[in-house]
Chain A
Amino acid sequence: MIRNLENLIIKVGDVDRRVIFVLIGLAVLIPLLTPVSLPIRETPTTVKFYEGIEEIPKGSKVLVSFDYGPSTRPEIHPMNVAVLRHMLRNEHKVYISCLWPDGIYMALDALEDISDEFSLKEYEDYVLLGYRPGAEAVIKGLASDLRKVYTVDANGKFIDDIKMMDNVKNLNDFAYIYSGSAGYPGTFEWVKYGGDPTGVRMSSGTTSVQVNEVIPYVRSGQLIGLLAGMPGAAEYEKLVESPGIAIKGMAAQSFAHIVIVVFIIFGNIAFFLKQKKERKYSK
């Protein structure tokens, strides 16, 4: 009986990788087709992030940077939409920059998502500054003189002709900086060349892959909270009371994690059983 079980586990350990792909695919697909509601508990970094935005005086100027593209859209886009919603609800004036070439399309999509809800008017509620190549050099430029980097906005309109840009000379004129970042250039560059040198309060939403490296900035106070991947986005959607695609995706995420954990456990048991068997026969 036990020998049969051992053989079965070893067989599972040797399963074709394509079977694992199919099972993970099903674990993601089924909860998306038949939505399951799982409880979401806010983590301290998300709460800190929320409170950080709440602390900004109403009607302040805030800079939101779209530093991601379609490849990481499922993780960052929901949090950026929720952040815009939160900021506009608190009547802040939003200035949007992009360090990634396709960030501008992500920004346009996010603005379209909330346009009706807030009856958004360009140049009254927000300015889409657009993309500039140069990564940290762009941030350094924004910190010293915004007009050296942006002479025109994303629509080609002269910055000097935009009323919302009056009295905006550099990063010091913003009350808050937020970067929705999927890698380089993103959070790290904003902290190093934007937040730290100017002292402007800032925070970020990042992909899960970056969380381990970015989290020390939260402890040191260089970032006011952090939205960590899709779970961070879901928690934030819950806090701002606007359930969106991140909350809907969490069940699929959880089921896929269960499948992966089960395979890791089986894989390890199978590895040790195989070793034991090989040792037995080699004697």
Chain B
Amino acid sequence: MTLSTMIGAWVAVFLTLSIFSYLYKDNPFYKIAEHVFVGVSAAYVAAISFWTQIYPNLLGRLFPKDGPLSFTGLEFDFNHSFNILYVFPLLLGLMMILSVFQKFNWMARWGIAYTVAIAAGLKAFGYLNSNVLNQVSASVISLFGENLPFFNISGDSVFNNIVLLLGTISSLMYFYFSKEQRGNFGKLTRVGIYFLMISFGASFGFAVMGRISLLVGRFRELIAYSEPSYNYSTIWLLILIVAFLFYHSLREKESNT
């Protein structure tokens, strides 16, 4: 095993146990892990965004090999030809960076406005097409389709189609606020609430399942790193952290009394 693998394992175990220590209470180990995570994530995303996007796709197009700006001495060969339009994203990007100076912070608004406009346009089309039109057309079903069984819990059936129809209409009606939810209309919206509650319950169940899966993943790695080949890293670090937390809580108790 290489030294870097060994160091990586010890760091991974230390950070995992430090984050788990928050389950006991807020403590210095948790704070260290939290700050390391935020710092490393920000730096990593900044670096990778530069090398995978700005460098080949922006600089590569403004300063291509043998391009009109090659007299500047800047040349980035990514098989691109010169494209003057890329000056605009460069300028907007620089304006956003300049906003760190209070005098120029108005400049960031142009870049943000451009980003918001593009995102709004892109998302409007996507939502309308995939989440509205396609979903509406998928809910148009033949209730008593050919050779459809009346009941089949896991496949298409008349019963499931009725549930789908009732659920869609009653849930939509619940969000119709131009009529007071009383009488028969109120009863229908109440059915809608039940459908929504079942949906929230399912979401909660799935969320719990997801969190447990992540816990399984972390435990599996902690078990792997507790082997002799990793110098029992999990066991040693667990003892260290528990001992420190115990000492820390004793000191706290003493200072309180």
Contact = CB atoms under 8 A, between A and B. Distances in A.
Interface of A: 18, 21, 24-25, 28-29, 32-33, 43-44, 71-75, 101-102, 130-134, 136-137, 140, 149, 151-152, 158-160, 189, 191-193, 196-197, 207-212, 216-217, 219-222, 228-231, 245, 248-249, 252-253, 256-257, 260
A229 B52 contact: no
Interface string B40-51: 000011001100
User: Which of A228, A231, A249 has the most chain B CB within a 10 Å cutoff?
Assistant: A249
Contacts of B24: 18
Contact of A256 (B44, B45, B53, B212): B212
A131 B60 contact: no
Given A151-B57, A207-B213, 12 more contacts: A24-B212, A28-B219, A101-B48, A136-B123, A136-B126, A151-B79, A196-B134, A210-B206, A212-B199, A219-B138, A222-B130, A257-B212
User: Which of B57, B138, B209, B220 has the most chain A CB within a 10 Å cutoff?
Assistant: B209
A72 B214 contact: yes
B206 A229 contact: yes
User: Chain B: interface secondary structure?
Assistant: helix
User: Chain A: interface secondary structure?
Assistant: helix
B45 to A, nearest CB: 5
Contacts, number: 139
B122 interface: yes
Interface in B99-155: 118, 122-123, 126-127, 129-131, 134-135, 137-138, 154-155
A46 B150 CA distance: 24
B223 A33 contact: yes
A260 to B, nearest CB: 6
B159 to A, nearest CB: 15
Contacts of B118: 137
Contacts of A136: 122-123, 126
B135 A75 contact: no
B28 interface: no
A231 B80 CA distance: 45
Interface residues of B, number: 46
B68 to A, nearest CB: 19
A230 B219 contact: no
Given A72-B214, A75-B210, A21 B23 contact: yes
Nearest to A161: B79
Contact of B154 (A43, A192, A231): A43
Contacts of A220: 134-135, 137-138
Nearest to A159: B79
Contacts of A189: 126
A151 B78 contact: yes
A102 B218 CA distance: 18
A185 to B, nearest CB: 11
Contact of A132 (B23, B52, B138): B52
Contact of A192 (B49, B60, B127): B127
Contacts of A210: 206
Contacts of B135: 216, 220
User: Which of B52, B118, B122, B207 has the most chain A CB within a 10 Å cutoff?
Assistant: B52
B84 interface: no
18 contacts: A24-B215, A28-B219, A74-B217, A74-B218, A74-B220, A75-B214, A75-B217, A151-B60, A192-B131, A193-B122, A207-B210, A208-B209, A209-B203, A209-B206, A245-B220, A253-B209, A256-B215, A260-B212
B216 A131 contact: no
Contact of A32 (B56, B80, B210, B219): B219
B208 interface: yes
B202 interface: yes
Given A151-B60, A212-B203, A260-B208, A230 B213 contact: yes
